Structure 1
Amino acid sequence: MPAMRLSIILPTFNRVAALRCALRALLLQTAPPDAYEVIVVDNNCSDGTAEFLESMVDTRVRCLRESRQGVSHARNTAIAAARGDILAFTDDDVETAPDWVATIIDALDLRPDVDGVGGRVLPAWAARRPAWLTRAHWGPLALQDHGDEPRTFDRASPIGLIGANLALRAAVLHRVGEFSLDVQRVRDGIGSTEDHDLLHRVYGSGGCMLYLPGMLVIARVQSDRCARAYHRRWHDGHGRFYALMRLPEMERTRTTVAGVPAHLLRAAASDAAAWLGSMLSGRWDDAFRAELRLRFFAGFARTRFGK
């Protein structure tokens, strides 16, 4: 494994306690210490993060500050400073498996035909998981598990991967561009689509990604994210960001009402009927799923209406 292959990009905003755990895991990798660097981007933290980062003595850790608020701003700043030919992305509330770096490097060396790799993001519940919070609701929690076998995703199978556990060849970003500033998470905003937008461009350029079940990170799921109110807000925000992205699959119908495609209006009417029927028959979980689809539509429609 040649020296200095991989740059880990880790934006952070006011999560100093979680950041300590994330960095500890990144510095206890099985890969040779000179094979990777960790670039931490302080995105206007005010909770002691700057002081903690100043105390770091491990030379693998490089600390940057990005005053423009937003995860895409932070990631793009780190991309510009990165020295590796592989760029790996993770989050400040995530802990990587000990072989995470080695798994990424080995996979990309063995598969020169793929642009990048992604893997499992599994939960560590801070409190007891509510019975309704099944895998069907993992999206708002930024959790991911596409099964036990490796899979290839491309334009024909454009499955999303999550920026908490994602690595790309640096050359790919020269080809498709950096993370979008228009659909990024800002501060504690939720529902953003910067990861989806980037992968949409990768697939659109003819690229492909490899899913590796053994490329593992653990995400700590805080109790507030296990509340239905959080999921309602996430789906509303997700709809808003989808409206901004204007993906071809969302804009596929020519007929629109105030900028909202007709097929989304038909789907919303169907979801409203499903919600009502589920409520009347006491199928509360089905009603909640229909409500979340309506929340997505509401966020989408409000954005297109310009409100």
Structure 2
Amino acid sequence: MTYDRPGRVDRLLEHLPFQQSTPDEVIVVNNGANEETRTVVESYATRFDRRSISLRHLARSDDTTLQRGRNTAIAVSNGDVICFVDDDVVPRKSWLKGIERGYEWDDSAVAVGGPAPITDDELSLQYDIDNSSTNQNHFNRFGEHRQIAYKWIPPAPVKTDTLVGANMSFKVDVLEEIGGFDPSYEGHPQFEETDVMAKLWNRGETIVYHPHALVYHINDSRKQSERVSYWYGRNSVRFRRKNFPETYHRSLFRLLFGPEFGTPVWRQLKNAVMKDDSPYRWRLRGYLDELILDRIDESVSDRLKAPYAKKSK
């Protein structure tokens, strides 16, 4: 997946032919149909062809939605397993072999991924590495979750609850069963991959985190933009309502006062009041807007149901 970042695509494609396990095909989904990106992809055609790797370029000029781009890739892919990486990653040579070994390590696995430690452009790590041998990526029944693929590298494969969008793979038939990626997560695509992970978690599926399936995730800035913060707030509420309806209202209470993972709203509010540039201001606005929308939807739904309820009496 890429959007107007041909330089990043160039760096990624440079590393893919030299994987310890050769990919069958590489699909570059060019959201926005950037012409420079097309040129970059075409420049690698000969190199990929020499290694019998099918290199495909999919230009999507109609929309730039990440989820629809992922679904397009699923629809046209030819393999039983599809791997997703962001355009700002550099895969270690063992990355694809690690994905394969993850499915071999547990043959019930429907998804495999691995670490995506955050680095600068020189691939210098930005966080101290956590080498825990137990699962560090968690879900609970309230939709609260914790994911630290940006620094967690276990010594051996581990069963996990969730993977990071920059480094994840799935069995295609299972993705199709759950409907792929949901485009209803609007604005900035926060929670789009977490939504898929929640569906798998609710089904009791096996997800494997393999240390050799590692990519370096280049990130020049740790500061969240206002837009990202706002849509994180909105989509986090939508995510809970959609995937954990039985505990939804309790999860909102926990969100306010003290969730198992993350910063409770009362602390976010304190931060927003004390700091003029706090991204929590926009996250709080996102929470509020989605909650208001939820109430409007419920009210409309009740009004639509009312006439039919009267007729049935």
Question: What is the 5 A alignment of 1:5-44?
Answer: 11-32=1-22, 35-44=23-32
Measure the CA separation in 1 of the matches of 2:94 and 2:271. 45
Q: TM (normalized to structure 1)?
A: 0.73
Q: Which residue of 2 aligns with 1:243?
A: 237
Q: 2:213 aligns with which of 212, 215, 223?
A: 215
Q: 1:271 aligns with which of 267, 273, 276?
A: 267
SS of equivalent residue, structure 1 residue 13: coil
Question: What is the 5 A alignment of 1:1-307?
Answer: 11-32=1-22, 35-46=23-34, 48-57=36-45, 58-59=48-49, 60-66=54-60, 67-126=62-121, 143-145=150-152, 147-153=154-160, 159-183=161-185, 189=188, 192-222=190-220, 225-227=221-223, 230=224, 233-245=227-239, 246-247=241-242, 252=247, 254=249, 261-266=252-257, 270-271=266-267, 275=271, 295-306=282-293
Q: Given residue 199 of structure 2, which amino acid in structure 1 is its aligned partner?
A: R
- 1:149-176: CA deviation from partner (whole Å, max 9, x where unpaired): 43212xxxxx331121111111211322
Q: TM (normalized to structure 2)?
A: 0.71
Determine if contact 1:250/1:261 at 8 Å carries over to the other structure.
Answer: no
SS of equivalent residue, structure 2 residue 162: coil
Q: Given residue 239 of structure 1, which amino acid in structure 2 is its aligned partner?
A: G
How far off its partner does 1:52 sit?
2.1
Moved more, 243-252 or 268-277: 268-277
Query: For the structure 1 residues 163 and 226, does the alpha-carbon distance in structure 2 shift closer, same or farther, using more than 3 Å as the test?
Result: closer
Determine if contact 1:22/1:92 at 8 Å carries over to the other structure.
Answer: yes
Determine if contact 2:118/2:151 at 8 Å carries over to the other structure.
Answer: no
Query: For the structure 1 residues 50 and 95, does the alpha-carbon distance in structure 2 shift closer, same or farther, using more than 3 Å as the test?
Result: same
Q: Given residue 271 of structure 1, which amino acid in structure 2 is its aligned partner?
A: R
Query: For the structure 1 residues 264 and 23, does the alpha-carbon distance in structure 2 shift closer, same or farther, using more than 3 Å as the test?
Result: same
Determine if contact 1:93/1:220 at 8 Å carries over to the other structure.
Answer: yes
Measure the CA separation in 2 of the matches of 1:226 and 1:135. 17
Determine if contact 1:271/1:294 at 8 Å carries over to the other structure.
Answer: no
Moved more, 104-113 or 76-85: 104-113
Q: Given residue 205 of structure 1, which amino acid in structure 2 is its aligned partner?
A: R
- Provide the identity percentage: 23
Determine if contact 1:140/1:235 at 8 Å carries over to the other structure.
Answer: no
SS of equivalent residue, structure 1 residue 52: helix
- 1:218-238: CA deviation from partner (whole Å, max 9, x where unpaired): 11112xx233xx266533321
SS of equivalent residue, structure 1 residue 163: coil
Query: For the structure 1 residues 64 and 142, does the alpha-carbon distance in structure 2 shift closer, same or farther, using more than 3 Å as the test?
Result: farther
Measure the CA separation in 2 of the matches of 1:201 and 1:212. 21
Query: For the structure 1 residues 253 and 165, does the alpha-carbon distance in structure 2 shift closer, same or farther, using more than 3 Å as the test?
Result: closer
SS of equivalent residue, structure 1 residue 101: helix
Moved more, 205-214 or 88-97: 205-214
- 1:85-110: CA deviation from partner (whole Å, max 9, x where unpaired): 11111011111111211221232134
How far off its partner does 1:276 sit?
9.2
